[in-house]
Structure 1
Amino acid sequence: MATKRTTTKTPKNPAPDPVEPAPCQPCNGSGMVPITVRVGRKRRPVGQQDGLCLNCLGEGTDPNT
């Protein structure tokens, strides 16, 4: 009678750890960027408002990774 194996084999290719995506550079991961508001005939800047980041389209992750 053969002896029984009591240890288990480790998998040859273990599952890789999930990689967290890098944050988008222009919006720093928030998905929003400040946009200057201009008014008047001479188009003078009066303030800023939040706008959608066109690099990541509001997702907050870097699309190039």
Structure 2
Amino acid sequence: MARKTTTGTARKTAPATPPPCEPCKGTGQVAITVRVGRKRRPVGQQDGICLTCFGTGTADS
């Protein structure tokens, strides 16, 4: 019985990296406006976790 042999070697492909998240631009954090007072006036911003990617920075669709 004849054996079949392969002449080439298997090529390994690099894993595809997912694109960065749009709202946080890959950082995993977004600026959230801080509001105070009865009229809820904005006084500044603080960092918060990106709810689109949950802080990973990659866009998982």
TM-score after normalising by structure 2: 0.81
Q: How many percent identity over aligned positions?
A: 59
Q: Which runs of 5+ in 2 are unaligned?
A: 1-5
Q: Which runs of 5+ in 1 are unaligned?
A: 1-7
| Residue 54 (1) aligns with residue 34 (2) | no
Selected match of 2:7 from 6, 9, 23? 9
In structure 2, what is the Cα distance between the partners aligned to 1:28 and 1:55?
Answer: 11
State the secondary structure of the residue aligned to 1:48.
strand
| Residue 43 (1) aligns with residue 40 (2) | yes
**Which one has the largest radius of gyration?**
1
Runs of 4 or more consecutive aligned structure 1 residues displaced over 4 Å after TM superposition: none
Aligned-pair CA distance for 1:19: 1.1
* Count of matched residue positions in the alignment of Structure 1 and Structure 2: 56
